[in-house]
Amino acid sequence: MDVLKRIGEQVKGNPVVIYMKGTPQFPQCGFSMRAAAALQECAVPFAYVNVLQDPEVFENLPRYAEWPTFPQIYIDGELVGGCDITLELHASGELKTMMEQAVAKSEAAGS
């Protein structure tokens, strides 16, 4: 399967997904650590992809949404941004609302 198609399926198939270096439990960069911690503090389930374990995704994800850095956070199929934007949304309370709405929409759609 084409890697961009696979990324698209991951983004559309999960209400919230973070592409990060490492895992939420064992992040392998400071930016990924802070972004994953913000998502975890929202207490809403999310998926993750460890880009260090998937060289194809690591090389091609920046082309998917024209965003050059990691982590990348997608909510409801849309790129939210990276670490700084995620932390700003978390501080304002918007991140939790966005995540809850995406999960509710996904559950209502039966996916």
How do residues 30-70 score in pLDDT, each as one tens digit? 999 999 999 999 999 999 999 999 999 999 999 999 999 99
Q: Is 29 annotated as a binding residue?
A: yes
Q: How many degrees, rounded to 5, is the angle at CA 23 between CA 18 and CA 24?
A: 75
Instruction: Give the model's pLDDT for residue 110.
Output: 81
Q: Is residue 111 part of a domain?
A: no
Q: What is the CATH number of the domain that holds 37?
A: 3.40.30.10
Q: Is residue 110 part of a domain?
A: no
Q: Is the pLDDT of residue 111 over 70?
A: no
At a CB cut-off of 8 Å and minimum separation 6, what does 13 contact?
111
Q: Please say whether the beta carbons of 53 and 26 come within 8 A.
A: no
C-alpha–C-alpha distance, residues 92 and 36, integer Å: 16
Q: Is the pLDDT of residue 93 over 90?
A: yes
How do residues 6-26 score in pLDDT, each as one tens digit? 999 999 999 999 999 999 999
Q: Is residue 22 part of a domain?
A: yes
| pTM greater than 0.85 | yes
Which domain range does residue 80 map to?
Answer: 3-105
C-alpha–C-alpha distance, residues 38 and 76, integer Å: 17
> How far is C-alpha 31 from the chain's CA centre?
13
